[in-house]
Amino acid sequence: MKSTMMNYQLTIPAILQRAKEIHPEKQIVTKMNDESIHRYSYGEFYTRVRRLMDALQKAGIKPGDRVATFGMNHYRHLEVYFAAPSMGAVLHTLNVRLFPEQLVYIVNDAEDSIIFVDKSLSKTLSDLLSQFKKKPKFVIMDDLEAMEAAPLADAIDYEEFLKNGNDSSLPLPEVDENKASGMCYTSGTTGNPKGVVYSHRSVYLHSMSICMSDSLGVCEKETVLPVVPMFHANAWGIPFACVMTGATLVFPGKHLLGHALASLLEQEKVSIAAGVPTIWNVLYQHLKKNSYDLSKLHTMIVGGSAAPLSMIEGFKKDFGIQILHAWGMTELSPVGTVCRLRTTMKDWNESEKMHFLAKQGPAVAGVELRGIDDQGRDIPKDGKTPGELIVRGPWVTVEYYGNPSQESFTEDGWFKTGDVVTIDEHSYIQITDRKKDLIKTRGEWISSVEMESQVLKASGVLEAAVVAKPDEIRGEVPVVFVVPKEGESIDKKSVLGVLKENFANWQLPNLEDIQVIDVIPKTSVGKFDKKVLRTRF
In contact, 116 and 139? CB cutoff 8 Å: yes
Stretches 5-13, 123-131, 160-168, 513-521: which one binds a second copy (CB under 8 A)? 5-13
Q: Can residue 199 be called a binding residue for a second copy (CB under 8 A)? A: yes
Q: Can residue 135 be called a binding residue for a second copy (CB under 8 A)? A: no
Task: Please pick, among 222, 331, 388, 452, the residue that the annotation labels catalytic.
Answer: 331
Q: Least distance in Å: CB of 31 to a second copy?
A: 21
What mask of x and - would describe binding to a second copy in positions 31 to 70, judged by CB under 8 A?
---------------------------------x-x----
Q: What does the alpha-carbon distance between residue 69 and residue 96 come to, in Å, rounded to a whole number?
A: 9
Axis-axis angle for helices 309-319, 350-357 (nearest 10): 120
Kindly report the backbone phi and psi dihedral angles of residue 298, in degrees, each rounded to the nearest multiple of 5, phi listed first.
Answer: -100, -25
Interacting residue with a second copy among 49, 121, 205, 262 (CB under 8 A): 205
**440 given a catalytic annotation:** yes
**186 given a catalytic annotation:** yes
Q: Least distance in Å: CB of 61 to a second copy?
A: 13
Q: 10 to each of 176, 213, 335, 342, how far by Cα in Å?
A: 8, 21, 18, 31
Q: Can residue 175 be called a binding residue for a second copy (CB under 8 A)? A: no
Q: Least distance in Å: CB of 10 to a second copy?
A: 7
Task: Please pick, among 11, 93, 124, 186, the residue that the annotation labels catalytic.
Answer: 186
CA-closest candidate to residue 103, choices 35, 185, 17: 185
Kindly report the backbone phi and psi dihedral angles of residue 354, in degrees, each rounded to the nearest multiple of 5, phi listed first.
Answer: -60, -40
Residue type, 339: C
Stretches 14-22, 253-261, 348-356, 513-521: which one binds a second copy (CB under 8 A)? 14-22
Stretches 241-249, 278-286, 320-328, 463-471: which one binds a second copy (CB under 8 A)? 241-249
Q: Least distance in Å: CB of 4 to a second copy?
A: 4
Q: What does the alpha-carbon distance between residue 116 and residue 139 come to, in Å, rounded to a whole number?
A: 5
**327 given a catalytic annotation:** no
What mask of x and - would describe binding to a second copy in positions 470 to 489, judged by CB under 8 A?
--------------------
Q: Least distance in Å: CB of 2 to a second copy?
A: 6
The size of the interface with a second copy (CB under 8 A), counted in residues, is: 70
In contact, 520 and 182? CB cutoff 8 Å: no
Task: Please pick, among 266, 296, 445, 492, the residue that the annotation labels catalytic.
Answer: 445
Q: What does the alpha-carbon distance between residue 87 and residue 385 come to, in Å, rounded to a whole number?
A: 48
Ranges within 66-105 binding a second copy (CB under 8 A): 66, 90
| Residue with Cβ nearer a second copy (149 or 205) | 205
Peptide bond into 100 cis (omega under 30): no
Residues 6 or more apart in contact with residue 76 via CB below 8 angstroms: 116, 141, 158
Interacting residue with a second copy among 399, 450, 471, 476 (CB under 8 A): 399
Interacting residue with a second copy among 160, 220, 293, 378 (CB under 8 A): 220
Task: Kindly calculate the radius of gyration of the chain based on its CA atoms and give it in whole angstroms.
Answer: 23
Q: Can residue 237 be called a binding residue for a second copy (CB under 8 A)? A: no
| DSSP E strand stretches across 42-121 | 66-70, 90-93, 112-118
CA-closest candidate to residue 242, choices 212, 274, 218: 218
Q: 235 to each of 121, 228, 329, 330, how far by Cα in Å?
A: 19, 5, 11, 10
Q: Can residue 250 be called a binding residue for a second copy (CB under 8 A)? A: no
Q: Can residue 535 be called a binding residue for a second copy (CB under 8 A)? A: no
Peptide bond into 63 cis (omega under 30): no
Q: Can residue 461 be called a binding residue for a second copy (CB under 8 A)? A: no
Q: What does the alpha-carbon distance between residue 487 and residue 481 come to, in Å, rounded to a whole number?
A: 18
Q: Which residues pair with 338 in a beta bridge?
A: 326
Where on the chain is the footprint of a second copy (CB under 8 A)?
A: 1-8, 10, 14, 17-18, 21-23, 25-26, 64, 66, 90, 178-181, 195-199, 201-202, 205, 208-209, 211-214, 217-221, 244-246, 248, 340, 342-344, 362-363, 365-366, 368, 392-401, 413, 415, 426-427
Active-site annotation, residues: 186, 331, 440, 445
